[in-house]
Chains A and B, each alone.
Chain A
Amino acid sequence: MAIPATIRDDFPILKQRVHGRPLVYLDSANTSQKPRVVIDALVRYYEEYNANIHRGVYAIAERATAEYEAARAKVARFLGAAEPAEIVFTRNITEALNLVAHSWGRRHVGPGDEILTTEMEHHSDLVPWQFLAQERGARLRHIPFDDEGRLVLGDLDRLLTARTKIVSLVHVSNTFGTVNPVAEIARRAHAYGAVVVVDGAQSAPHRPVDVQALGVDVFGFTGHKMLAPMGVGGLWARRALLEEMEPFLGGGEMISDVWLDHATWNEVPWKFEAGTQNVGDTIALGVAVEYLEALGMDAVAAHEQELTAYALEQLRDVPGLRILGPAGAADRGGVISFAMDGVHPHDIAQVLDEDGVCVRAGHHCTKPLHRRLGIGSSVRASFYVYTTREEIDVLARSLLKVRSLFRVA
């Protein structure tokens, strides 16, 4: 089943023109656009049953609670979790990774222990571990990548030791697009007794994910990159792991009982959801997940792989482009970052904007990756279910215009 050509009608924002040109949105790895059904779900919540959850005895509060917990069940099914209670909602994946570093890390990581990540991580999968390592006197180690942006696993058995407590890595690189062999790395890491955390920000929206088949322990995701509103994300973790974790934030809802000087915790997953939650956005996330399931995640992945192959071909015809990441479209997500000889990424993005083309220019929150490549920044075009070949043609044409404007043609 292919993605229907009419899909763009589902996304109201795509109908507009900017600077007199059709909007060509190629920044979905940054944040995705939202289909009408998701926007409607949000409006419906606020118009019909806005109420706080888990406490009201009245009808609209019960409906809000039921819809919120239904969203948890939808996300659990979408990711292949064993049960809805294994899904914890947070504001975004950054908060989810900080939660793991805080609630599992501080309890299990001690002086001299090791935390292994990679050189292609997003800052949100680096900085929380830096906090933890500094606080606990642990050592950070990193899996390097090769010239095509693939992890070099030859040294993995040297990087993994009996001291390795956590291995945390990105599933699909937000800069290279590389799909990392997470299952293999998890298997090898588990042989050393490490807990395996996966940053799924760029995988969950774009390809089928089955967290149990991947054999990992924690999987983080963020709603706004998968057709849902900004402000909700979360993590899946094995129940046993969640049970042994301390709460992250203290406050209402996360407690079982409270005295003036101490408290006991609520059950999993609510012990991690302190305070009033982002109910409307979470319900809308449930709708986004259903929308993706209706398209079929195999179809989503196939659509993006075809676009990526086409884009790699078109961009190869633009002189002076250095395309980062794998040369082919195999094991590559719908993300293409590149640099152009003699023209800075900001200038490229500025000229593209005049043609209505939205791309990301900068370091994409992967400064260590860019530093290793010896460049300060790059341009990134990224695709999703609504992206078309024609939009990639506009991108390629606009890049030729950049070259003539800056006289590097």
Chain B
Amino acid sequence: MSLDTLYREVILDHYSHPRNRGVVEPADVVRDGANPLCGDEIRVSLRVRDGVVEDVRFEGKGCSISQASASMMTERVKGRPVEDARRTIAAFKGMMHGEQAPGGDDLGDLEALQGVRKFPVRVKCATLSWITLELALDELGTA
């Protein structure tokens, strides 16, 4: 169990150069998430037009895993239909909990985060932004 499996190059890159940081203006929904165990906080904001995630951003503080995961998440879902985003969320959560990705969903770069599974306490770091995005989409769906 080496550190290289955790801190993959693409993760360190997203950590030092996060994509889509900030708050969407105007946003349809802004959602906060926190990991009470480590005090990490995240804010996910997004705007949806015609069933497509037109813009999504994140801000907050946390470890390299949580920040890189959030950055990669925004890159992945931005410009895609909400239904796609939901499928990716499910596939990502499944991957982090050691389940087979349903329907062979290709997670691409996100698969770099698979190494986190070997460090159980860090899984929550990786999933925080995804759970927050999911709650944001739920909120939007019922609005």
Contact = CB atoms under 8 A, between A and B. Distances in A.
Interface of A: 19, 343-347, 350-351, 354, 361-363, 367, 370, 376-377, 405-407
Given A347-B63, A350-B119, A406-B12, A376 B3 contact: no
Interface stretch (B33-41, B73-81, B97-105): B33-41
B122 interface: yes
A350 B38 contact: no
B49 interface: no
Contact of A351 (B3, B16, B122, B125): B3
18 contacts: A19-B1, A344-B61, A344-B67, A345-B38, A347-B7, A350-B3, A350-B119, A350-B122, A354-B3, A362-B37, A362-B38, A367-B39, A376-B38, A376-B40, A376-B41, A376-B61, A405-B12, A407-B12
B42 to A, nearest CB: 11
A254 B65 CA distance: 51
Given A346-B63, A347-B63, A377 B119 contact: no
Nearest to A343: B64
Q: Which 3 A-B pairs have the closest CB atoms?
A: A344-B63, A346-B63, A376-B39
Contacts, number: 50
A362 B121 CA distance: 12
A377 B39 contact: yes
A378 B3 CA distance: 21
A351 B2 CA distance: 10
Contacts of A376: 38-41, 61-62
Interface in B14-70: 15-16, 37-41, 61-65, 67
A148 B52 CA distance: 51
Contacts of A377: 38-39
Nearest to A408: B16
Contact of A406 (B2, B64, B125): B64
A344 B61 CA distance: 9
A398 to B, nearest CB: 11
Nearest to B2: A354
A350 B64 CA distance: 11
Nearest to B121: A346
B6 interface: yes
Contacts of B64: 343-344, 347, 406
A348 B63 CA distance: 9
Contacts of A362: 37-39
Contacts of B16: 406-407
Contacts of A407: 12, 16
A248 B54 CA distance: 58
B95 to A, nearest CB: 20
Given A377-B38, A407-B16, 18 more contacts: A19-B1, A344-B62, A345-B63, A346-B63, A347-B65, A350-B6, A351-B3, A354-B3, A361-B38, A362-B37, A362-B38, A376-B38, A376-B39, A376-B40, A405-B3, A405-B12, A406-B16, A407-B12
Interface string B98-135: 00000000000000000000010010010000000000
Contacts of B62: 344, 376
Contacts of A405: 3, 7, 12
Contacts of B2: 354
